[in-house]
Structure 1
Amino acid sequence: MEQNLLEIKDLCLSFKNDETLVSTLHHINLSLREGELVTIVGESGSGKTITVRSILGLLKSPPAIYTNGKVLYKGQDLLTFRKEEWRKIRGKEISMIFQDPMTALNPVFTVGEQMENVYLYQGFKKRPLFFKRPSKKEKKEAKYRSLELLEKMRLPDPEGLLNRYPFELSGGMCQRIVIALALIHTPRLLIADEPGTALDVTVQASINKELQRLVKEEGISMLYITHNLGVAKEMGERTYVMQYGKIVEEGATDDVFLNPQDQYTKDLLSALPKLV
């Protein structure tokens, strides 16, 4: 039997509020195979983002406290990792595309500076004053990789883009650059947290097509988080439905949408606008 690249087993998470624990995630079970694209859907506040942030250890503890379960990546429990171990896999093994492209990029650095810095310094704790300067060869490699990814994202004039600032670009262009940044070390697992939220529907559709194409071309596994059921149906091979911090339904995407079993899933589908 093929081993899962990612497996979340019976995960329970609470947040500490003064002296009380507020239970937030309830016995989450989720898996992802190599080269698979899986979607997680649900209303805002259903626990989608908290679940995927747990995979990368991005929740501060406390207030976040894991009361049960494991997050297994290639058989290793990520919840037991120390800071040094996290730095080795963040951005290299597992990478994440955040929701708002306009705030994900630093406005005072050019696109090229940001991409090359991520390529050169990903995994380091910090860059002190005495940090060894990258060689000309390393800088050349960083620029080449940046241009390669901008071309893969089908952005016009990649060379010129390296010298431009994020505020000079449209939301769709910034989102493609954020995706390129997440892919700069060719991670095995890519987490896309509602990457089209701040974009209009046509741009969102083109971004999603790029993500699907990159998953096939690069052999990446992807978790795609959305509250848009139409997007979920187009994107994922399998779909998980979340409500109030629980997974209420999961299965092949066509089965979930054409033959839903849980009442919450049925309610979500019935709420979709219909053309008359």
Structure 2
Amino acid sequence: MTTENLLEIKNLSISFKNGPEEVPTLHNINISLKPGELVTIVGESGSGKTITVRSILGLLKTPPTLYTGGSILYKGKDLLKNKKKDWREIRGKEISMVFQDPMTALNPVFTIGEQMLNVYLYQGKKRARRWFGKPSNEEKKAARERAIELLHKMSLPDPEGLLERYPFELSGGMRQRIVIALALIHTPKLLIADEPGTALDVTVQNSINKELQRLVKEEGISMLYITHNLGVAKEMGERTYVMQYGKVVEEGNTEDVFLRPKETYTKNLLAALPKLV
């Protein structure tokens, strides 16, 4: 693994406009990620985890979002200076994101195949597909083959048959696997998983997490995994960042953070875990 960082968030500070006032929300966040590394960000709800990772993809509307300091470097380039054209080239191709709720991430009126093929064929395009020439048979064949390949990698039964089905016909675990497949369709360098198991039961969540770990190795990508579940964080990441009130209060090797925590907040989080008597 190279020592050069793929992603480096440096002293990132964000406020939100609330009428005439500015409400500071993130305070000097520093997070780094190397190629091929799996890093977790953990903290209670409202600690700033999702705001931090959404800022990486420019998904926070400005205003009310105000970037008051710092930078987000991806391959050495500051993403905060991106224009719309730059974002189109990065989103879904260089950096992808898996969102919390698979039902809202998928369009209920299109089949799984239509959604996967459209993402493959039109990701990063400036206008709606009606403005483009009809894809060639070779392009459509490549898109279909890639979709089937990813559904197979996600351990889904009958990948070809799934392409003809709608999201509401599938279970929550199957939908989440499809959302992950969509995020991987262009083999991004960085995958952001924002609490992908929150809407699922524990056994399905565990299965999804194992698939993510396996795919990170197979596809050779890096992953930022966001969770408020300390048990999941301990199992997933090589390194862990702990956030509280918009600040990183502790970071380090995952084993050190969980077995030898330094900060009172981390110790309190670990003490709050339920114990079997």
Q: Which residue of 1 aligns with 2:33?
A: 32
Amino acid at match of 2:235: E
Q: Which runs of structure 2 are paired with 1:1-276 in the superposition (5 Å)? A: 2-127=3-128, 129-276=130-277
* Secondary structure class of the residue paired with 2:156: coil
Report how far residue 218 of structure 1 moved.
0.7
Distance 1:80 1:131 in 2: 29
Amino acid at match of 2:64: P
Report how far residue 123 of structure 1 moved.
0.1
When normalised by structure 1's length, the TM-score is 0.99
* Secondary structure class of the residue paired with 2:130: coil
What is the count of residue pairs matched by the alignment? Answer: 276
The percentage of aligned residue pairs carrying the same residue is 78
Distance 1:237 1:129 in 2: 44
Report how far residue 125 of structure 1 moved.
2.1
Distance 1:127 1:191 in 2: 25
Amino acid at match of 1:147: I
Report which stretch shifted further, 215-224 or 1-10.
1-10
Query: What per-residue deviation string (whole Å, max 9, x for no partner) do you get for residues 63-85 of structure 1?
Result: 00000000000000000000110
Distance 2:138 2:191 in 1: 28
* Secondary structure class of the residue paired with 1:256: helix
When normalised by structure 2's length, the TM-score is 0.99
Distance 1:92 1:196 in 2: 23
Amino acid at match of 2:20: E
Distance 1:273 1:133 in 2: 56
Report how far residue 208 of structure 1 moved.
0.2
Report how far residue 133 of structure 1 moved.
1.0
Distance 2:130 2:205 in 1: 41
CA contact (8 A) 2:16 2:65 kept: yes
Report how far residue 197 of structure 1 moved.
0.2
Amino acid at match of 2:210: K
Report how far residue 129 of structure 1 moved.
3.2
Distance 1:129 1:33 in 2: 39
**Structure 1 residue ranges (4+ consecutive) displaced by more than 3 angstroms after TM superposition:** none
Distance 1:128 1:235 in 2: 38
Gapped regions of structure 1 (runs ≥ 5): none
Report how far residue 128 of structure 1 moved.
5.4
Gapped regions of structure 2 (runs ≥ 5): none
Report which stretch shifted further, 126-135 or 85-94.
126-135
Distance 1:172 1:125 in 2: 32
Distance 2:104 2:79 in 1: 28
Query: What per-residue deviation string (whole Å, max 9, x for no partner) do you get for residues 6-40 of structure 1?
Result: 00000000000111100000000000000000000
Report how far residue 273 of structure 1 moved.
0.2
Query: What per-residue deviation string (whole Å, max 9, x for no partner) do you get for residues 240-270 of structure 1?
Result: 0000000000000000000000100000000
Q: Structure 1 residues 81, 23: CA separation in 2 closer, same or farther (over 3 Å shift)?
A: same
Query: What per-residue deviation string (whole Å, max 9, x for no partner) do you get for residues 209-232 of structure 1?
Result: 000000111111000000000000
Distance 2:129 2:93 in 1: 22
CA contact (8 A) 2:122 2:129 kept: no
Q: Structure 1 residues 275, 28: CA separation in 2 closer, same or farther (over 3 Å shift)?
A: same
Query: What per-residue deviation string (whole Å, max 9, x for no partner) do you get for residues 28-59 of structure 1?
Result: 00000000000000000000000000000000
Report how far residue 131 of structure 1 moved.
1.8
Distance 2:78 2:248 in 1: 21
Report how far residue 130 of structure 1 moved.
3.6
